[in-house]
Amino acid sequence: MIEEFETKFKDHILEKKTPAKNQILYVVKKEALPEMVKYWQWHPQAKEAHYSMGVGTDERPISGGFVYMPVISVVNHETGEEFWIMLKAYLDPENPEFPSVASKVPAALWAEREVHDLLGLKPRGHPDLRRLILPEDWPEGVYPLRKDMDYSYSPMGAPKCAYREGPPDASLVPIGPYHMALDEPAHFRLFVRGEEIVDVDYRGFYSHRGIEKIGEGRLTYNQIFFIAERICGICGFQHSVSYAMAIENLAGVEVPERAQYIRVILLEIERIHSHLLWAGVAAHLAGFDTGFMYAWRIRERVMWLAERLTGNRKTYGMNIVGGVRRDILEYRKELILETVKELRKNVEKFYEIVTNTRTLLKRAEGVGILPYKVAKAYSVLGPTARASGRNIDTRRDHNVLVYNELDWKVPVYKEGDVLARILVRLDEVLESIWIIEQAVDQLPGGDIFTPVGKIPEYEEGLGYTEAHRGEVVHYVMTGEKNKVYRWKVRAPTYNNLPAVPEMLKGYSVADAPLIIASIDPCYSCTERVQIVDAETGKVRVLTESEFNELSIKKGREMS
C-alpha distances in Å from residue 418, one per residue of 237, 384, 492, 523: 27, 9, 18, 20
Q: Reply yes or no: is the peptide bond before residue 177 cis, omega within 30 of 0.
A: yes
pLDDT at residue number 159:
66
Phi, psi of 245 (to 5 degrees): -60, -40
Residue 534, CB half-sphere, CA atoms under 13 Å: how many?
0
Helices (H), 476-543: 492-496, 500-504, 512-517
For residue 200, the number of C-alpha atoms closer than 13 Å in the C-beta half-sphere is: 25
474-527 pLDDT, tens per residue?
999 999 988 999 999 999 999 999 999 999 999 999 999 899 989 988 765 333
CA-to-CA distance for 210 and 227, rounded, in angstroms? 11
Question: Which residues are paired to 118 by β-bridges?
Answer: none
Three-state secondary-structure class, residue 144: coil
What is the C-alpha separation between 11 and 26, in angstroms, rounded?
12
Encode pLDDT of 382-408 as tens digits. 999 999 999 999 999 999 999 999 999
CB 163 within 8 A of CB 201: yes
Q: What's the rounded Cα separation, in Å, for the pair 96 and 269?
A: 44
**In the 8-state DSSP scheme, what is residue 538?**
-
| Beta strand segments in 164-280, E | 171-175, 187-193, 196-203
Helix H or strand E segment including 58: strand 50-58
Q: What is the pLDDT of residue 42?
A: 94
Give the chain's residues under pLDDT 70. 151, 157-161, 179-183, 217, 523-559
Distances (CA, A) of 334 to 262, 305, 330, 406, 486: 15, 12, 8, 19, 42
Decide the pairing of beta strands 122-124 and 97-99: parallel
CB-based contact 376:417 (threshold 8 Å): no
> How many secondary structure helices (H) and strands (E) does the chain include?
18, 17
How far is the C-alpha of 378 from the C-alpha of 519, rounded, in Å? Answer: 14
In angstroms, the CA 137 to CA 156 distance is 6
Of 261, 247, 277, residue with least CA distance to 455: 247
pLDDT at 134: 84
**Nearest C-alpha neighbor of 283 from the set 274, 293, 291:** 291
- Its sign, for the CA torsion 458, 464, 467, 469, is positive
